[in-house]
Amino acid sequence: MFPSGTLPPNSEDFLEILSMPDRYIIYRSHYQNDGARDWKKQFRRLSQESKAQLLDILHELNAAPRERLQHISTLKRPFRSIIEHYYPGGETPPRSPNEEELVQQGVSVGYDSGPG
């Protein structure tokens, strides 16, 4: 990632960070060696066209949470494995204790509340 409090060196790095699963950004110190490194390796293997397709897939998954699991089951490589970082097992990732505290305070943590 990049040093705390600084911006990434270029727009490509910035777009990579914006493409990461929310929890990898919010809790980067926790996930940098547990998930984020693998995600980054997979993301960097994608062509520019595949990166754009990934963002389209994520948009579709977020727009129709009730069909998410079915849609994920139809994905082929390389998308199926990288989507696991966003939706492990096809589900919205569980909240960490820190996230639950934020939710109780009324702060959005960037995840949907389940099937819409």
**Distance between CA atoms of residues 101 and 89, nearest Å:** 24
- The answer to whether residue 33 sits within a structural domain is yes
pLDDT at 116: 44
Going by pLDDT thresholds of 50, 70 and 90, the confidence category of residue 110 is: low
Does 100 score more than 70 pLDDT?
no
Calculate the CA dihedral of residues 94, 96, 97, 98 and round it to 10 degrees.
-130
> What would the pLDDT profile of 42-85 be if each residue is shown by its tens digit?
999 999 999 999 999 999 999 998 999 999 999 998 999 999 99
**Distance between CA atoms of residues 56 and 73, nearest Å:** 16
- The answer to whether residue 116 sits within a structural domain is no
- The answer to whether residue 44 sits within a structural domain is yes
Query: Which uninterrupted H or E stretch holds 26?
Result: helix 22-26
- The answer to whether residue 54 sits within a structural domain is yes
Query: Which uninterrupted H or E stretch holds 45?
Result: helix 36-45
Q: Give this prediction's pTM.
A: 0.72
pLDDT at 90: 87
- The answer to whether residue 2 sits within a structural domain is no
Domain count, the chain: 1
Containing domain of residue 61, as a range? Answer: 11-92
- The answer to whether residue 70 sits within a structural domain is yes
- The answer to whether residue 41 sits within a structural domain is yes
Task: State mean pLDDT over 22-36.
Answer: 81
pLDDT at 115: 47
Does 97 score more than 60 pLDDT?
no
pLDDT at 20: 92
Task: State mean pLDDT over 88-112.
Answer: 67
Give the N- to C-terminal CA distance of the chain in Å, as an integer: 33
- The answer to whether residue 80 sits within a structural domain is yes
**Distance between CA atoms of residues 71 and 8, nearest Å:** 33
